[in-house]
């Protein structure tokens, strides 16, 4: 009898773990949805998709704004947009609605070097409409995570799936540290030891640009750099 009871408990526990895992991994479950008339339609800009092709996503001008529709997760940049020393980078992102059954993030990257190659490095700060922030980078094709919060942060705006949400993302690089703020509130300040070195960034100096996860439709306004 005890053996039967233990087996039932084990099966129930396995089912629960499976269900939680499916929910927790939902962001990885949906396939990339290719965007019609994809490609880069803004002069001077370039991109690199995590998988698939750049033409499976779309970067276009929409009045004074940039408009990104993905497709695969992608990084976009203009090689002329570089930052070094002490600087502040910011932009405002507006997602009209959630396009999938779960939230996907978007934001800004700094420290871009060797972009578009197998040796690229960059560090991005992004926000989900469900309130979660994320700071992650690439060293070659390998991601490295600096900050991953599983619960909502008070700085990050939230909205129902069918409603618009706006996030202002800002990077402040000063004295060898990099701090990301979302909607005017710091979500993390990182030292050079945290983010520069083997398997991380080559430098905090470099190209800056946009980082958008897969299956997102978002507009970007006020992309600007200020030297300090």
Q: What would the pLDDT profile of 162-198 be if each residue is shown by its tens digit?
A: 999 999 999 999 999 999 999 999 999 999 999 999 9
> Tens digits of per-residue pLDDT, 194-217?
999 999 999 999 999 999 999 999
Pairing label, strands 142-148, 165-174:
unpaired
The dihedrals phi and psi of 140, each to the nearest 5 degrees, come to 65, -135
What is d(CA 66, CA 18) in angstroms, rounded to the nearest whole number?
A: 40
Which SS3 state, helix, strand or coil, does residue 127 take? strand
Query: Residues of the chain whose pLDDT is less than 70?
Result: 1-28
Q: Report whether 24 contacts 6 (CB < 8 A).
A: no
What is d(CA 169, CA 58) in angstroms, rounded to the nearest whole number?
A: 21
Residue 228, pLDDT score: 83
What number of other Cβ atoms are within 10 A of residue 179's Cβ?
16
Residue 23, pLDDT score: 33
Residue 48, pLDDT score: 97
């Amino acid at each position: 009898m005890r053996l039967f009871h233990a087996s039932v408990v084990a099966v129930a526990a396995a089912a629960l773990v499976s269900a939680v895992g499916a929910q927790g991994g939902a962001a990885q479950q949906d396939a990339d949805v290719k965007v019609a008339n994809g490609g880069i339609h803004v002069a001077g800009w370039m991109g690199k998709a995590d998988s698939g092709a750049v033409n499976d996503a779309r970067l276009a001008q929409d009045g004074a704004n940039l408009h990104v529709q993905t497709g695969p997760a992608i990084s976009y940049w203009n090689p002329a947009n570089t930052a070094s020393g002490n600087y502040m980078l910011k932009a405002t992102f507006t997602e009209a609605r959630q396009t999938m059954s779960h939230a996907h993030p978007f934001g800004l990257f700094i420290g871009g070097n060797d972009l578009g190659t197998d040796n690229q490095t960059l560090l991005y700060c992004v926000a989900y409409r469900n309130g979660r922030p994320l700071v992650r980078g690439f060293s070659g094709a390998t991601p490295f995570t600096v900050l991953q919060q599983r619960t909502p942060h008070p700085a990050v705006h939230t909205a129902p799936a069918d409603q618009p949400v706006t996030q202002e993302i800002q990077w402040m690089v000063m004295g060898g540290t990099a701090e990301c703020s979302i909607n005017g509130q710091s979500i993390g300040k990182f030292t050079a030891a945290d983010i520069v070195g083997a398997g991380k960034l080559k430098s905090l100096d470099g190209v800056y640009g946009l980082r958008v996860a897969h299956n997102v439709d978002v507009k970007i306004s006020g992309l600007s750099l200020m030297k300090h």
